[in-house]
Amino acid sequence: MKTLNCIECDTQYDPGEVQYFCRCGGLLEFRYEGIEADPALFDSRKASLHPLDRSGVWRFRELLPDFSPGSHVTQLEGGTRLYQKPLLNQKLGVEKVYLKHEGENPTGSFKDRGMTVAVSAAVNLKSTSIACASTGNTSASLASYAASCGLRSIVFLPSGKVSMSKISQALAYGAEVCAVKGDFDEALELVQKICMDYGVYLVNSLNPFRLEGQKSIMWETLQDLGWKVPDWIIVPGGNLGNTSAFGKAFMEAKKFGWIDRLPRLLVVQAEGANPFKLSFENGLTNLKSVKAETMATAIRIGNPVNFPKAKRVIQALNGKVIDVSEDQIKSAKRTLDRSGVGAEPASACSIAGLQKMVKCGEIKSSDLVVCVLTGNILKDSHANEMVHKTGATWHEVVDEREVVKKLELSKVK
Ligand SMILES: *Cc1c(COP(=O)(O)O)cnc(C)c1O
Ligand SMILES: [Zn+2]
């Protein structure tokens, strides 16, 4: 049985009707009872030719919302690589670090995993237009999935605070862009008002369908590890959608007997956008929003909407929330990119967080660690220049003599 309930008061809602919050103001979540599905079934589907089996999201559909046939909008999302880089691991001082690269999704970020479910829900609900507020990647993902099934897409962005690569991607897929004078949190407020009053379907991460899709990041990771449970999962925290979804993924996997223990979860925020970290230090009793600022624009969020869900996850998984400085993000991005597996700045927070935890001895060299890389290296070319373009890597040259001099080459005898 699959139901949609309020996390605060348990009130049940019909998933076939548009509903973002409970009447009491609580967030909604899907619940599953008596589901029959196991790792062997999911493993067997990897060899199937059916699109829903090949998708790294829909492969796990027993624990996802149901839609009427023909409503699924999939681009075979997921199926992202789980890298192991021995040279990087040496540098980090941890023998078994895996990088789950969600930047390898169809539009270059993990947002596609939630978007396939949310846009399928929109089609199922017969919506004709969908909208979101976004720090960039959600809008690119929304625009792409909307284009795939002929829906109108409208995206609200904090003006001047989103990487141009992401905006141009959303424009390319055909989105209409509203650049909001204000930050992400203000853009989110505005889009919620527009969606409620004008019948546009809202696919922000408070949308319970999106979080369902994002659970598959962890199930696929387990699958790629032969269903061995890591000691630590490390993820950057912005709106805390992944934090909430990952916890739910592991608790459901344990409930249905796919795994027998839970990993610990480390959520990493930027110092300039750290409301969850501050709340963690105060026992997670409440959340005070902050004015957010960081080069990791994907997590430049001061008032994370999924706090009530994320809080429960930290408690259930014996998790931890820390923050990292701008210098630590840059340095981690340098290390990560130079391993041959690059990512955008927000993703580098996973590495920066790992480095901090190794330094203080909380993560040991023998621990099995999975760092989630949330977005592709091409998502923020400005950051790549800022971090990597130096006198040692960039040479203006006109002729052979200059090349030889700048690169300090010596002639072979
Ligand atoms: C959206 C996004 C995040 C933030 O994830 P939450 O689930 O909102 O915490 C982190 N990194 C990238 C690249 C993103 O696009
Ligand atoms: Zn309620």
Q: Which distant-in-sequence residues (6+ apart) come within 8 Å of 113 by Cβ?
A: 56, 57, 77, 78, 102, 105, 213, 214, 216, 217
Ligand 1 centroid from CA 245, angstroms: 12
d(CA 200, CA 176): 13
End-to-end Cα distance, the chain: 76
Q: Do residues 3 and 30 touch, judged by C-beta distance below 8 A?
A: yes
Question: Which atom of ligand 1 lies closest to the CA of 346?
Answer: 11
- pLDDT tens readout for residues 48-94: 999 999 999 999 999 999 999 899 999 999 999 999 999 999 999 99
Q: Of the given ranges (18-22, 105-109, 120-124), which has the lowest mean pLDDT? A: 18-22
Contact 290, 307 (CB under 8 A): no
> Rounded distance, CA 320 to CA 363, Å?
12
Q: Mean of the pLDDT values across residues 140-156?
A: 97
pLDDT tens-place string over residues 370-387: 999 999 999 999 999 999
How much helix, strand and coil, in percent to the nearest 5, is found in the chain? Answer: 45, 15, 40
Give the position, in ligand 1's atom list, of the atom nearest the Cα of 242: 7
Q: How far is residue 283's CA from residue 281's CA, in Å, rounded to a whole number? A: 6
SS3 140: helix
Computed over its alpha carbons, how large is the radius of gyration of the chain? 21
Q: What pLDDT, on the 0 to 100 scale, is given for residue 135?
A: 84
User: Measured from the CB, is residue 237 less than 6 Å from ligand 1?
Assistant: yes
In short, whether 299's Cβ falls inside 6 Å of ligand 1 is: yes
Closest CA to ligand 1's atom 14:
298
Q: What is the pLDDT of residue 413?
A: 86
The ligand whose atoms approach the alpha carbon of 11 most closely is 2
Name the DSSP class of 34: S
89 touches ligand 1 (CB under 6 Å): no
Share above pLDDT 90 across residues of the chain, in percent, rounded to a whole number? 92
Task: Single out the residue of 374, 256, 237 nearest to residue 307, CA to CA.
Answer: 237
User: What tokens does 304 get?
Assistant: 């994370």
Q: Distance, CA 285 to ligand 2 centroid (Å)?
A: 19
Q: Is 294 helix (H, G, I), strand (E, B) or coil?
A: coil
Conformation bin of residue 298: beta by default, left when phi > 0, alpha when psi is -120 to 50: alpha
Cβ count within 10 A of residue 176: 13
- With a 6 Å cutoff on the Cβ, whether 204 touches ligand 1 is no
Cα–Cα distance for residue pair 100/278, rounded to 1 Å: 27
Classify burial at 85, counting beta carbons within 10 Å of its beta carbon; exposed 0-12, middle 13-18, buried 19 or more.
Answer: middle
Cβ atoms of 278 and 290 closer than 8 Å: yes
pTM, two decimal places:
0.97
- H-helix or E-strand spanning residue 248: helix 241-255
DSSP H/E element including 115: helix 111-124
Q: What is the mean pLDDT of residues 286-299?
A: 95
Q: Which ligand is nearest to the CA of 247?
A: 1
Q: Is the CB of 344 under 6 A from ligand 1?
A: yes
CA 325 to CA 327: how far, in whole Å?
5
Q: How confident is the model at residue 162, as a pLDDT? A: 82
Residue 206 Cα to ligand 1 midpoint, Å, equals: 13
Q: Looking at the predicted structure, is the pLDDT value of residue 395 above 80?
A: yes
The pLDDT of 320-332, averaged and rounded, is 98
